[in-house]
Amino acid sequence: MILIRRFEEASEREFRRGKIGGYLHVYSGQEAVAIGVISALKKGDVVYCGYRDHAQALALGSGPSRVMAELFGKSTGISKGKGGSMHLFDAANGLYGGYGIVGGHIPLAAGSAYALRYRNSDNIAVCYFGDGAMNIGSFHEGMNMAGLWGKDGLCPVLWIIENNGYAMGTSVERHSALTDLSARVRAYNIQTEKVDGQDVFAMRGAADRIVRQIRETGKPYCIEAMTYRFSGHGAADILQPYRSKDEVEKHRDRDPITIMRKRLAEVSGLTDDDVKKMDEWATEEVAKAVRFAEESPVPDGSELFTDVVAEHGPHPVSEDNG
Ligand SMILES: Cc1ncc(C[n+]2csc(CCOP(=O)(O)OP(=O)(O)O)c2C)c(N)n1
Ligand SMILES: [Mg+2]
């Protein structure tokens, strides 16, 4: 979680230095939602997320250097420098994207979960999406198919609503007819629960139990993670007129890293010195990643037409999972 926070601070800095093209959305404040769930997964599970995807890539083990290089648009990046911040992809580590079309990945995750079960694997799909993504048609299509296939134990997918209270500058109260967001998932015959997304132990505890249940039953499940983003929506959201400084400060009292530190100090004697060492390590890893990204070459011109369409070959799920 500390590595993610330092990585995000560096990516905001590098964006302002003009080193990162396109757009940039950071995960600061929401770290426990990525780590709590991804740490409960096993090899072969697949993870989908939206454009706020750096944390998931780091949690899955893509490595800060390859992720930073992707943000810089360099050939050493995890999508060979052709995806950028919003389109991280690393099938070998279970990351199936990184999507810029809000909610467009939800049906893909339902389809992947169906494919995994169809091939008799006990792996599952995990799909992160925001509160705002629940207002697009593909959310309803994906949930309906998951609920329907799930009746026969054929859709092992864990939906994670990252409820950070806002879709760009529009609060949940202003964008959703029903503010109890998980109720909208229950309408599709899918079990849900709300979890404190600032507390990594709460997230991990829920994920351990729920992931086991999904593997056993093949039925979908949804966690609504109650969380908050500390930075603006994206790199251009500087003034943030839709929320007050007081509101942001109030939420900083529940910084997931502080909550984790306090709890670890209580249960396992974590000291300030231990945290300082972790912080130094994370800072150095991120500095190395920035140097690697800066020194890497841009993609060759011949790469313009590669990896654009899959001309033949099986869906990656069949390669990765037998
Ligand atoms: C189909 C589509 N519509 C609109 C947009 C523009 N857009 C980008 S992010 C966003 C808000 C999404 O909010 P949410 O799902 O809550 O995710 P968060 O940014 O809070 O993580 C919108 C409307 C888009 N990228 N794709
Ligand atoms: Mg949101």
Task: List CB-based neighbours of ion ligand 2 within 5 Å.
Answer: 130-131, 164
**Per-residue pLDDT reduced to its tens digit, 167-222:** 999 999 999 999 999 999 999 999 999 999 999 999 999 999 999 999 999 999 99
Q: How far is CA 127 from CA 34, 111, 308, in A?
A: 11, 11, 24
- For the residues 75-92, what does the mean pLDDT come to? 96
- Structural domain for 45, as ranges: 2-321
Q: Per-residue confidence at 308, pLDDT binned at 50, 70, 90? A: confident
CATH number of the domain where residue 73 is located = 3.40.50.970
* Cβ 164 under 6 angstroms from ligand 1: yes
- 25 C-alpha to center of ligand 2: Å? 11
Mutate to test the pocket of ligand 1, among 99, 101, 102 (most ligand atoms within 8 A of CB): 102
Average pLDDT in the 72-95 region? 97
Q: Buried b / exposed e across 268-301, counting CB within 10 Å, b at 16+?
A: eebeeeebeebeeebeebbeebbebbeebeebee
User: Which of these, 195, 197, 203, 199, lies nearest to 257 by C-alpha position?
Assistant: 199
Compute the mean pLDDT over every residue in the chain, rounded to the nearest whole number.
Answer: 96
3-state secondary structure of 22: coil
For 96-128, the pLDDT digits (tens) are 999 999 999 999 999 999 999 999 999 999 999
- Ligand 1, atom 13: closest residue by C-alpha: 167
User: Residue with structure tokens 């007819």?
Assistant: 177
Residues 6+ apart with CB under 8 A from 143: 106, 110, 159, 185, 187, 188, 190
- The finding on whether 125 has its CB within 6 A of some atom of ligand 1 is no
CA distance 126 to 65: 24
Write the residue with the smallest CA distance to atom 5 of ligand 1: 102
CB atoms within 10 A of CB 184: 22
| φ and ψ at residue 20, rounded to 5 degrees | -115, 120
pLDDT at 314: 56
The verdict on pTM exceeding 0.85 is yes
* Model pLDDT, residue 322: 40
The structural domain count of the chain equals: 1
Q: Which ligand is nearest to the CA of 101?
A: 1
